[in-house]
Chain A
């Protein structure tokens, strides 16, 4: 065992002060804590963000659905407001991991980590959400920058995510049965101005927008309009599936998502 400090501030400012002093921000700890247990990271201090009331909860902010950075997956899944405005987002949150993960993990932690197979990044990208941090607002298209990489600077904290409300949307994932991570997951969102399709779990670069499908679905929103599977080059290959298998899943899950969105 190695020793480290742990603080759980109740205000964002106190948390930022502790982080600027060298502390490692901690959300629900669903990736960070296992990493610490394996000694693959050894920060001197952890700054728990889950005690900060202003980072938690769901509300409408203008015409956008605003979710606090420290809001747990279970709370998003159960929120009447999310279910009413963007049911696909509530459904996605309700399928992340298992009940233990959903009762600890937070949306801010998920998108700050940007695991290439995490569910939330697909919703944030497909819905064209805005990521609000303690310093600025970042459009989803600029936020995700590849494998475990985001626009966040060192010490920058995700305060909340603002989601535009789509006409229809759906998320479909093919689960890796042990972890319930997405072997491939696709979030499809239809807005008045067009369709956005974001894919997680498939690419080595993490979540990405499938532009061919967006173009085809924007002119004809039906499962039959989904184009042929994208090329397998650059897709993840591991014991659960080859790059070709994942590329095929991208097409299949997109069709299912379009059909589910109705």
Chain B
């Protein structure tokens, strides 16, 4: 499953970059994230409780940041396990560009979900991944810098969204796992 999208953040690129590398910001932005810990210079461990309909599954996973080209881009590779629910793997490339009004964040993610969730939930995995990504971006935007006027970009962003960014890589992973 591939998901991509764009979001305008009302903050300069350096600030957005730092937020993308800040475990606290990521934890606050990822829906259902209960723990986020830095385990190495470019490694994070996260616990995310994913809830969709009657399903409630806890995913624990490791995320690595690679191809780091500060403050422009990085690639997040993550893998998480959700016990009986299944597993998810994913990676996302995140790019930041300076634009008028702030920073444009573009991401392209690819994820795979396996196990019971994938068997049972194929119908809804993509929709769920998108929803999680949208919530992540909304939270991240609020945390880092909400644009002053409603932007035209948002709609497309949502459609495309994946899971987005950095922190999300993991999430993505999780979600995807869940549902893709």
A146-170: contact bitstring with B at CB < 8 Å (1 yes, 0 no)?
1111000000000000000000000
Of the residues A31, A41, A236, contact of B56 by C-beta under 8 Å: A41
| B124 sits at the interface (CB 8 A) | yes
What is the chain A residue whose CB lies nearest that of B56? A41
**A residues near B84, Cβ cutoff 8 Å:** 38-40
Check A113 against B122 for contact (C-beta < 8 Å).
no
Q: CA separation between A179 and B158, bound complex, in Å?
A: 30
What is the chain B residue whose CB lies nearest that of A146? B131
Interface residues of B in 45-104 (CB under 8 A from A): 52-57, 84-85
How distant is B132 from chain A, measured CB to nearest CB, in Å?
Answer: 10
| A238 sits at the interface (CB 8 A) | yes
Check A40 against B127 for contact (C-beta < 8 Å).
no
Given contacts A39-B84, A40-B117, A148 and B52 within 8 Å (CB-CB)? yes
Interface residues of A in 226-261 (CB under 8 A from B): 233-234, 236-240
**B residues near A239, Cβ cutoff 8 Å:** 122
How distant is A161 from chain B, measured CB to nearest CB, in Å?
Answer: 19
Q: CA separation between A35 and B53, bound complex, in Å?
A: 10
Interface residues of B in 111-136 (CB under 8 A from A): 116-117, 120, 122-124, 126-128, 130-131
| A10 sits at the interface (CB 8 A) | no
How distant is A42 from chain B, measured CB to nearest CB, in Å?
Answer: 8
The interface residues of chain B, by DSSP majority, are classed as helix
Check B116 against A147 for contact (C-beta < 8 Å).
no
**A residues near B122, Cβ cutoff 8 Å:** 238-239
Q: CA separation between A146 and B127, bound complex, in Å?
A: 9
Given contacts A40-B84, A147-B131, A234-B159, A31 and B126 within 8 Å (CB-CB)? no
What would be 25 A-B contacts, judged by CB atoms less than 8 Å apart? A35-B55, A39-B84, A40-B57, A40-B116, A41-B54, A41-B55, A115-B53, A146-B131, A147-B124, A147-B127, A147-B128, A147-B131, A148-B52, A149-B131, A204-B124, A204-B126, A204-B127, A204-B130, A205-B131, A233-B159, A236-B123, A236-B126, A236-B127, A238-B122, A239-B122
In the complex, besides A41-B54, A236-B126, A238-B122, 20 extra interface pairs with C-beta distance below 8 angstroms are A35-B53, A38-B116, A40-B57, A40-B85, A40-B116, A40-B117, A40-B120, A42-B56, A113-B54, A114-B53, A115-B53, A116-B124, A148-B124, A203-B127, A204-B124, A204-B127, A204-B131, A236-B123, A236-B127, A237-B126
Q: A residues bordering B, Cβ < 8 Å?
A: 31-32, 35, 38-42, 113-117, 146-149, 203-205, 233-234, 236-240
